[in-house]
Chains A and B, each alone.
Chain A
Amino acid sequence: MQARETIVAPPRGWLSLRLRELWEFRELLYFLTWRDIKVRYKQTALGAAWAVIGPFTTMVLFSVIFGNFAKLPSEGIPYPVFSYTALLPWQLFSRALGDASQSLIGNQGMVTKIYFPRLFLPASSILSGVVDFGISFLVLIGMMLFYDVVLSWKMILLPVFLLLALLTAMGVSMWIAAFNVRYRDFRYVTPYLVQVWMYATPIAYSRSLIPEQWQVLYSLNPMTGVVDGFRWALLGTTLELGPAFGISVAAVLLVFIGGLFYFQRMESTFADML
């Protein structure tokens, strides 16, 4: 039997992502996700209802203010369905930012007492958000039936966009989680970041409202591509996915890969800073 060799040495360089190690520990990711889901639905009396109440309330607010009063165009789709479709990935994303960024601090005991890839802490809290996503997705199907919106064949591509949403959430969370450990007051910034980000993403309105000359800059927001993708796949909106979508995807990959390197680089210092 080949004995496994572990070398313990001071961290050097940016290059090691230690992907093999992530694979070896994969079962732990499963257990941590399972824990996060269990705890989430155990602790609250309302349980699954919370997953729906959040986006649903926002949708009602948006429909009244932006749909009814401001009469924003919604690409030929009933406004409630239009905004709720965007709120699905947004909910996943904003919750991930909140939970994942606290995940290292919230699991201090583990981080300071045992070795495992710390990446799994933000990752598991994001993956557990998929359950919430699933529940609110069912509500969307109900709404679409109610408003007579025809399901498009493009729906089979939804998992691709869900994956894109998860990658975005993970990418941003890795940055924020590592930042939170390093700068303890960064968590005060997060809520504002999320709020500003939401209005910079086509959730309450359509991307078509953005003037032509700003479209490229606007598409640099990774969530723009995600939201567009969701509407495209679910609602068959008139807005086609063009080069702007490509820019968003590139931005997602950049944020994700950058975050992965940064997080793995900072990992060895977490235990000392918590």
Chain B
Amino acid sequence: MGEYAIEAEGLGKQYRIARGKRRVMLRQVLSDAVSSGIDTLRAGLGAEPDERPESTRRRFWAIRDISFGIRPGESVGIIGRNGAGKTTLLKILARVTAPTAGQARLLGRVGSLLEVGTGFHSELTGRENIYLNGAVLGMRGREIERKFDEIVDFSGVEEFLETPVKFFSTGMRMRLAFSVAAHLEPEILLVDEVLAVGDAAFQQKCLNKMGDVVGHGRTVLFVSHNMAAVRALCQSALFIDNGKIVYRGDVGGAIERYLNLGDGERSTPLEFEASAGRKAQILSLALVNEAGKVTSSVPHDRPFSVLLKLAVRAPIFKGQIELEILDGDFNTIVMARDVDQVETSVISGAAGTYECRVRFPAPSLVPGRYSVRARAVMRMRSRALLVDEAPSVWPFEVFDNGSVLSRLNQKWGGKFILPTEWEWAPEAETHGQPA
């Protein structure tokens, strides 16, 4: 017998992304078969076959070369930003999805908690759902019977036991679901961000319960954005970025790396070759995070800046610098000009080399992929004449730094985050109520 409770060797998962169409349609397969038959025929007759764009069958590795060993009784946190591959790893270990490469060995009964309330049916009563959910999570009938009172007690919904769950509030539902899950007693427990349920008091109760689980010699793998929870529950942590284990060690070290995300792929500004013929030219472009570090990924809730270096060789009448933020489809979603605030642009002034820092407030952009484009233009009545455009854009990612949405597993919508205020008040009572 090995010394590990969980041992992963070179685990990898590849997904295929078909751009545009996600679902495979039978009619598409059939028509593809027909048209590829025609292609073959045409190729046979000497015609060129249609070229299928590569992007329609792109593949990517959600995780790759993941190897680690976890000793029995150890509790390990997995941290990383959204999309880093944490959940994929957990799903593979829980056997929800099969790996593309590598293998893992788990010794002992495995319980997984990828979601609270999996298998709940809204038509069934609280009591019925306890049994159903328990069975779905892998409990035996007798085991559920034995723990039934404890589960009900923990959830605090005993008065509604005979009520269909569809009449439960979300909070009640979550509490009941967590209570069932918390009474699962596997030797290995895989948990994905499920502590964010209910009110603060219930969350504390859940944390304590998890602490109990950890204390009882169970092997726990725990994915969370809640650093305090990871710190409290785990003895060590894995930090995953871009599908790879970047760090394995003490919790503090992993959290530090998570918070310093951004020493990522790009760490030096883009420099562009000077050409003396241009009156004004953008010499370099970079994005920096709050700490002033050049980066290509920024947390959604922190400000960032764009750094520009500009050469002005001859003043440009009615000139201006434009900075655009493009979304993933290269649509301009933000257009900032240096003349938004001042009347005369720096490129209409004295010759020289200038550096500029353009600050963007936080939160501003919804997590996703963007890029920055910079150009110098000359205004001509209603049009603009291009003087210079930085030869390449600066791609960057805004990542979710642990928002409420991500904890609820919800998608952001739109492109911008505006600080809205929600003011609620009870409806004013109408005067002169009928007797």
Interface residues of A in 166-220 (CB under 8 A from B): 179, 182-186, 189
List residues of chain A with CB within 8 A of the CB of B132: 31-32, 34-35
Measured CB to CB, the closest approach of chain B to A50, in angstroms, equals: 16
Q: Is the CB of B112 within 8 A of A114?
A: yes
List residues of chain B with CB within 8 A of the CB of A238: none
Choose one: A4, A11, A32, A107; the contact of B98 (CB below 8 Å). Answer: A11
Q: Is the CB of B187 within 8 A of A269?
A: no
Mark interface residues in B83-110 (1 if CB within 8 Å of A CB, else 0).
Answer: 0000000011111111111111111111
Q: Is the CB of B135 within 8 A of A269?
A: no
Q: Is the CB of B118 within 8 A of A114?
A: yes
Q: Is the CB of A6 within 8 A of B115?
A: no
Measured CB to CB, the closest approach of chain B to A40, in angstroms, equals: 10
Choose one: A30, A32, A43, A113; the contact of B123 (CB below 8 Å). Answer: A43
B141 part of interface (Cβ distance < 8 Å): yes
Q: Once the chains are docked, how many angstroms separate the CA of A38 from the CA of B141?
A: 17
Q: Is the CB of A183 within 8 A of B119?
A: no
Q: Is the CB of A38 within 8 A of B128?
A: yes
Q: Once the chains are docked, how many angstroms separate the CA of A166 from the CA of B101?
A: 38
Q: Is the CB of A31 within 8 A of B106?
A: no
Known: A184-B24, A185-B26. A114 touches B15 (CB 8 A): no
List residues of chain B with CB within 8 A of the CB of A10: 98-103
Nearest to A6 among chain B residues (CB) is B106
Q: Once the chains are docked, how many angstroms separate the CA of A130 from the CA of B128?
A: 21
Chain A interface: which size bin?
A: 35 or more
Q: Is the CB of B136 within 8 A of A116?
A: yes
Q: Is the CB of B25 within 8 A of A115?
A: no
List residues of chain B with CB within 8 A of the CB of A268: 97-98
Q: Is the CB of A8 within 8 A of B103?
A: yes
A271 part of interface (Cβ distance < 8 Å): yes
Measured CB to CB, the closest approach of chain B to A55, in angstroms, equals: 25
Choose one: A6, A28, A116, A269; the contact of B105 (CB below 8 Å). Answer: A6
Known: A115-B94, A189-B26, A268-B98. A3 touches B136 (CB 8 A): no
A148 part of interface (Cβ distance < 8 Å): no
Q: Is the CB of B26 within 8 A of A39?
A: no
Choose one: A9, A38, A110; the contact of B119 (CB below 8 Å). Answer: A110
A7 part of interface (Cβ distance < 8 Å): yes
12 contacts between A and B (CB under 8 A): A3-B1, A3-B187, A8-B95, A9-B103, A10-B101, A31-B131, A109-B115, A110-B119, A112-B96, A113-B115, A114-B136, A183-B29
A-side interface residues toward B, CB under 8 Å? Answer: 3-11, 27-28, 30-32, 34-35, 38-39, 42-43, 107, 109-116, 179, 182-186, 189, 268-269, 271-273
Instruction: Give 15 A-B pairs besides A8-B11, A8-B104, A30-B141 with Cβ atoms closer than 8 angstroms.
Output: A3-B108, A9-B103, A10-B103, A27-B140, A35-B128, A38-B123, A110-B118, A112-B96, A114-B112, A114-B114, A114-B137, A115-B94, A179-B26, A184-B23, A184-B25
